[in-house]
Amino acid sequence: MQVRFECPACNGTHVFDMPETTIHMTCAKTGKVLQLRLTSGGDVRPTVVDPGNPAPAEANG
């Protein structure tokens, strides 16, 4: 499924094919790791992953 989402790391938007319901990616602009969860409604919930904490920080907004 092709998705578009607002990146909490760089405040830009990214578009790509999301083959699974939860994936990890790196924002090319900031180098921060993101966790993306695809909801049953088709929305993407992005969160920035803190390398010192295994649980991702919740995205604002």
Q: Is the pLDDT of residue 36 over 60?
A: yes
Would you say residue 18 has pLDDT above 90?
A: no
pLDDT at 54 (0 to 100)? 54
- Residue 2 tokens read as 């092709």
Question: Percent of the chain at pLDDT above 70?
Answer: 84
Taking the C-alpha atoms of residue 48 and residue 50, their distance in angstroms, rounded to an integer, is 6
Neighbour tally for 49: CB within 10 Å: 18
Q: Are 45 and 39 in contact (CB under 8 A)?
A: yes
Closest CA to 38 of 61, 5, 8: 5
Residue 60 has pLDDT above 60, yes or no: no
